[in-house]
Amino acid sequence: MKDAEQEICLSYKGVGKKFKNISALDDVYLEVCRGEIFGFIGPDGAGKTTLIRMAMGITNPDRGECTLLGSTDRRKARKNAGYVPQLFSLYTDMTVNENIALFGSLYGTSREIVLKRAEAILKRTGLWPFRERMVGKLSGGMKQKLALASGLMHTPEILFLDEPTTGVDPVARREFWAMLYELNKEGLTIIVSTPYMDEAELCTRKMFIDNGKILDVGTSEELLSRFDNKILKLELDERRAKEWLLKCANVRDANLFGSSYHIVVDDVASATREIRKELAMRYQEHPELYEITPNLEDLFVAFSGGTVSCRR
């Protein structure tokens, strides 16, 4: 849990936001402390991007208050904040060097300092050998590294990343997160939105949000301790099985994860007997069925589907 004495660098107090008749954020209360890697976790349209854009002063709340680095004047405070948007927004017809120098100059930094910072950041991100390459010819992973480098040019106190690894290969994702951890160890506060549960695990704390409402906040251990149900794993790769699984009286939900089902139940013994009875009638070879420890992906599906409850 966060230390009560830690400095709050981002807060939302009773924040609400609508776009036309659609509620993007509904009565959001949240505090992020300096030095955290904090995750905004939720499906598309949950409100993650709106939270980030509001923090950066790009959009304002209809009600409530949002503060960034202790100031309600977020447009002024964002000079000390970095932002890597969801969509790649650098100039593809310019070189890596030209792009990063441009972003550095936008913050009013002298050309000499910009060039020194650019060299240091490009070397750190592994882009220095490609500094004269046109950005349009970079791979997806290299483009994301360049976006990160651009967001660091003015040495921010807090960095926002909106689904930064979407469409990036697994190796590039690992390299990207390794850099984030290094930056965090040096004191940078990082806020990242992601739909990937393996990335959610890497955040020191995380918040689940859906339909503009916060569902729960905490460390992985805290969140999973409030999961009220049990999980059975069924080693069966058959999409049609969900239909009969959901008809079992003791089954709350069932979802195919890769080549096996995670089955949400209240009573392990009763559900196991019922499912095994169905398996014996339907299959000559009986697939393995056993209890497992719930993970964040189970929690994400539970929150998104709304079929099971968690204690707060």
For residue 35, what is the domain's CATH number? 3.40.50.300
- Residue 55, domain member (yes or no): yes
What contacts 257, CB < 8 A, 6 or more positions away? 297
- Residue 30, domain member (yes or no): yes
Residue where a domain terminates, one of 190, 217, 244: 217
Task: State whether 144 and 257 are in the same domain.
Answer: no
Q: In what order do the strands lie in the sheet with 205-210?
A: 81-84, 158-162, 189-194, 37-41, 205-210, 213-218
| 39, 48, 295, 310 from 211: Cα distances, Å | 17, 10, 22, 17
- Residue 224, domain member (yes or no): no
Task: State whether 30 and 53 are in the same domain.
Answer: yes
Task: State whether 208 and 234 are in the same domain.
Answer: no
Task: Residue 33: give the domain boundaries.
Answer: 8-217
- Residue 77, domain member (yes or no): yes
Task: State whether 144 and 96 are in the same domain.
Answer: yes
Task: State whether 48 and 112 are in the same domain.
Answer: yes
**78 vs 81: CA distance, rounded Å:** 5
- Residue 204, domain member (yes or no): yes
pLDDT confidence of residue 286: 85
- Residue 140, domain member (yes or no): yes
pLDDT over 70, % of the chain = 95
pLDDT over 90, % of the chain = 59
Query: Which has the closest alpha carbon to 227: 115, 311, 284?
Result: 311
pLDDT confidence of residue 305: 67
Task: State whether 50 and 110 are in the same domain.
Answer: yes
**216 vs 208: CA distance, rounded Å:** 5
Task: State whether 136 and 263 are in the same domain.
Answer: no
Task: State whether 202 and 246 are in the same domain.
Answer: no
**139 vs 176: CA distance, rounded Å:** 13
| pLDDT per position as a tens digit, 169-214 | 888 888 889 889 999 999 999 999 988 888 999 999 999 999 999 9
- Residue 310, domain member (yes or no): no
Task: State whether 203 and 234 are in the same domain.
Answer: no
Our count of domains for the chain comes to 2
| pLDDT per position as a tens digit, 241-286 | 999 999 998 999 999 988 999 999 989 999 999 999 999 999 988 8
pLDDT confidence of residue 1: 43
The structure's pTM equals 0.86
**310 vs 299: CA distance, rounded Å:** 9
- Please answer whether residues 147 and 192 qualify as being in contact, where contact means their C-beta atoms are separated by less than 8 angstroms: no
Query: Which has the closest alpha carbon to 121: 89, 154, 92?
Result: 154
- Residue 240, domain member (yes or no): yes
Per-residue pLDDT of the chain (312 residues; tens, 9 = 90+): 445 457 999 999 999 999 988 899 999 999 999 999 999 998 888 999 999 999 999 999 999 999 999 999 999 999 899 998 887 778 899 999 888 888 777 777 777 888 888 888 888 888 899 999 999 999 888 888 888 888 888 889 999 999 988 777 888 888 889 889 999 999 999 999 988 888 999 999 999 999 999 999 999 999 999 888 899 999 999 999 999 999 998 999 999 988 999 999 989 999 999 999 999 999 988 899 999 999 999 998 888 765 545 544
DSSP string, 78-137: GGGEEEE-SS--S-TTSBHHHHHHHHHHTTT--HHHHHHHHHHHHHHTT-GGGTTSBGGG
Task: State whether 73 and 172 are in the same domain.
Answer: yes
